[in-house]
């Protein structure tokens, strides 16, 4: 078994402060035995305005946030799933919300760009979000082999699209890592339900690091970062503020559940395949 962790933050508009906080929490998770640590969406910046991310965007492979992820992974000998950070895209007025994965040597091994963008008005509030105004959508899902199992990455709003995850199942996903910055309103209504549903319907582990608390821009995020097993059992949950959750990822338990409860092999209607094997 391998112990994995999900970091929870209440990130600010100051990148240097957020990186210090992330490093502290990563170190604490490693001390608790974690071999893989996942950061939340927007871990390096929760700006006063959505367009603030344009001011800190980095070229793919070069920049202080990417250096931080690489050096921290190497320093602690841990795999890091880097939440999201703004990477230069094709549109000069937008960025890609990129999740970068580094191995325990500090080498980048994969990148996923958020596909589903949060363009909504939250019911019962005056909150309006238009991620597409500043973010360029990705196009390719990601599933990769790691020492912990076959990992698939999704980001926040991706969570609401079950066919996206069923496409990952077709590529043999065993662990879903879902960095997020769920609003308090939508999180209270749907966060746990959606996470447990994705774990149950795909019989896989879910590691879900979330933003959690009050932010200087007036936004409130839901927190409740959690790790869930393939039967939908919550193994650990951190409700609000900065901290982390940690739990063992047991490949034998995953295979036992899949072998004794082979629901995935009973599917009769398949959605259009969205992943290129």
Active site amino acids: 41, 114, 156
Handedness of CA 201, 206, 209, 213 (dihedral sign): positive
The residue with tokens 């367009």 is 51
Task: Please give the sequence-ordered ranges of beta strands (E in DSSP) within the chain, or none if there are none.
Answer: 2-8, 36-38, 79-81, 85-88, 95-102, 108-113, 119-121, 128-130, 142-146, 149-153, 175-177, 205-208, 212-214, 220-222, 225-228, 234-238, 243-249
Question: Which of 204, 206, 201, 245 is closest to 223 using CA atoms?
Answer: 245
**Torsion-angle region of 263 (φ positive above 0: left; ψ -120 to 50: alpha; else: beta):** alpha
Q: C-alpha angle with apex 151: 146 to 153, nearest 5 degrees?
A: 130
Q: Are 173 and 154 in contact (CB under 8 A)?
A: no
Q: Are 183 and 146 in contact (CB under 8 A)?
A: no
């Amino acid at each position: 078994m391998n112990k994995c962790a999900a970091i929870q933050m209440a990130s600010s508009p100051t990148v240097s402060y957020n990186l210090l906080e992330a490093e502290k929490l990563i170190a604490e998770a490693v001390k608790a035995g974690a071999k893989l640590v996942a950061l939340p969406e927007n871990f390096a910046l929760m700006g006063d305005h959505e367009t603030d991310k344009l001011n800190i965007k980095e070229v793919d492979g070069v920049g202080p946030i990417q250096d931080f992820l690489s050096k921290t992974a190497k320093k602690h000998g841990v795999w890091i799933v880097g939440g999201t950070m703004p990477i230069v895209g094709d549109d000069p007025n937008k960025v890609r919300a990129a999740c970068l994965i580094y191995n325990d040597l500090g080498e980048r091994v994969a990148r996923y760009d958020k596909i589903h963008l949060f363009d909504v008005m939250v019911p019962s509030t005056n909150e309006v979000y238009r991620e597409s105004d500043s973010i360029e959508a990705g196009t390719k899902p990601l599933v990769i082999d790691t020492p912990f199992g076959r990992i698939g990455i999704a980001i926040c709003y991706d969570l609401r699209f079950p066919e996206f995850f069923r496409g990952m199942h077709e590529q043999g996903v065993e662990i879903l890592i879902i960095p997020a910055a769920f609003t308090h309103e939508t999180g209270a209504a749907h966060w746990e339900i959606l996470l447990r549903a994705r774990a149950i319907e795909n019989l896989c582990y879910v590691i879900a690091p979330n933003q959690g608390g009050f932010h200087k821009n007036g936004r409130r995020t839901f927190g409740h970062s959690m790790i869930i097993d393939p039967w939908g059992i919550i193994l650990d949950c951190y409700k609000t503020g900065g901290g982390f959750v940690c739990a063992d990822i047991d490949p034998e338990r995953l295979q036992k559940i899949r072998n004794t409860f082979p629901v995935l092999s009973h599917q009769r209607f398949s959605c259009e395949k969205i992943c290129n094997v």
